[in-house]
Structure 1
């Protein structure tokens, strides 16, 4: 029995690795290769656009889900919970999207603008979901229409965005925030805006190192915040502030969002976690923590 469990665990780990490798190649190199006409052709057979997307993606990955039992199992165990057709209106009705308008402007190496997902372009849309048996299922979304989202580019590379992924992965940290809030990382101010709108949040202190990002935000975004009076922005290195100043702020709630994704986030996450013991009465939360913990 123990031997069988070890075999099963090993197989699940192999499946996890295979799915992550396939998805990484797809999302990094050809996230928009699935076309609307291909979806429409398959959907004529009475299946949903979401299922048609799954079939096309599986085929592109070289999976034979008809005759190969291993491939069929992989498809059934992962794809159903992994691929999601999203409703653009749900996100366009988000308070930030409705109330904050982003101009196109560039300062230094930082550029503020709208980027877009093409119809049927795949993207990460939420934290990794881990099943009871240990399967780690990435969350990939797509829209059937073009979807515009705010972004900050650094040296022409997308660095900070407000996409469905940010909205979904920050929900818990927004809902839980209270009292005096400290957040590491400014970005486009999505988290800052959402918590400043809460009646039970008295103040929001933002620690951000990038002077250009702060300037872009203060000039073009912050004036649109209804509760801008709650917000204080400090230009500083996050870890220096955590080590030298955080305990003096008597913060009730801390949210850290300093990394681009899991790959560059693990070390920073662990480093910031080490400061928690200095503030035992403070609640600490971290962006995409569920995904990071899958790798720790």
Structure 2
């Protein structure tokens, strides 16, 4: 990877980080519709508005125009709410508004045209790391767990997309580190070739919320076993004796806090040579390693 591409990657991530953290609802429907009237897609209109907000001159500045072409046109995606509302978890699991300890269970929402990460970073052959940003043209509600009033765990399009492979590959006796709202546990428990799902989590409040209000809605709740434990302690002391066929790890919030945990958990693979391992947002994490 040459230095220019490294600089471009860094610039895109810096711009997007500020946008997503400070003003993810910056883009408005009226602006998108106004540009789309010229015959371009809503995705392209969204990208143009975002580029302008980043003070990029995509008309007269060659560097800015190249940046737009190499990243923005492959980065922005308009998503269909029905595709996600028809997901089995969304269709069959009802999330009550509930608070236990410092953990709160509720629905949060994306506003129309609010931007959010919707999938793993997409690296290309040239070495460009292209983030994947989605938006809906209508409001979208999603389940969430808040810790001290901060969103900590969710089931959003990003989780759904980035867990597809780990759901598809799971079989036999499955071990998963990280409970969250039980999305992964639910999806794999629905598979005929999955016999059991052991879930490791260290947060008793989250476990209590799940076992009281979500697990009873699982069609195959009998497959689920929850163990309160530190993930690394369990991986070291108990995982080798568990005869697990498939292990999925999801114990980080995003790439920034996931790299060290990912590398540590990878070390335990050698203790289970016959087990298949998978890690949440591993493709994105590898872009930083």
TM-score calculated relative to the size of structure 1: 0.97
Which residue of 120, 129, 134 corresponds with 2:113?
Answer: 120
User: Is 1:274 the counterpart of 2:267 in the alignment?
Assistant: yes
User: Is 1:97 the counterpart of 2:66 in the alignment?
Assistant: no
**Distance (whole Å) between structure 1 residues aligned to residue 181 and residue 84 of structure 2:** 16
Deviation at 1:35, TM superposition (A): 0.8
**Distance (whole Å) between structure 2 residues aligned to residue 268 and residue 123 of structure 1:** 24
Deviation at 1:43, TM superposition (A): 1.4
5+ long unaligned stretches in structure 2: none
Deviation at 1:268, TM superposition (A): 0.3
- CA RMSD in angstroms comes to 0.6
**Distance (whole Å) between structure 1 residues aligned to residue 13 and residue 7 of structure 2:** 10
Listed as ranges, the matches of 1:51-62 within 5 Å are 51-62=44-55
**Distance (whole Å) between structure 1 residues aligned to residue 29 and residue 122 of structure 2:** 28
**Distance (whole Å) between structure 1 residues aligned to residue 111 and residue 188 of structure 2:** 30
Listed as ranges, the matches of 1:1-296 within 5 Å are 9-296=2-289
Deviation at 1:95, TM superposition (A): 0.3
Cα-to-partner distance string for 1:38-87 (whole Å, 9 max, x where unaligned): 11111121211111101000000111000000100000011111000000
Deviation at 1:19, TM superposition (A): 0.5
SS in 2 for 1:67: coil
SS in 2 for 1:170: helix
**Distance (whole Å) between structure 2 residues aligned to residue 277 and residue 46 of structure 1:** 55
5+ long unaligned stretches in structure 1: 1-7
**Distance (whole Å) between structure 2 residues aligned to residue 9 and residue 31 of structure 1:** 31
SS in 2 for 1:274: helix
For structure 1, which segment, 41-50 or 267-276, has the greater mean C-alpha deviation from structure 2 after superposition?
41-50
Aligned length: 289
Moved over 6 A (4+): none
Cα-to-partner distance string for 1:150-202 (whole Å, 9 max, x where unaligned): 00000000000000000000000000000000000000000000000000000
Deviation at 1:25, TM superposition (A): 0.5
For structure 1, which segment, 248-257 or 36-45, has the greater mean C-alpha deviation from structure 2 after superposition?
36-45
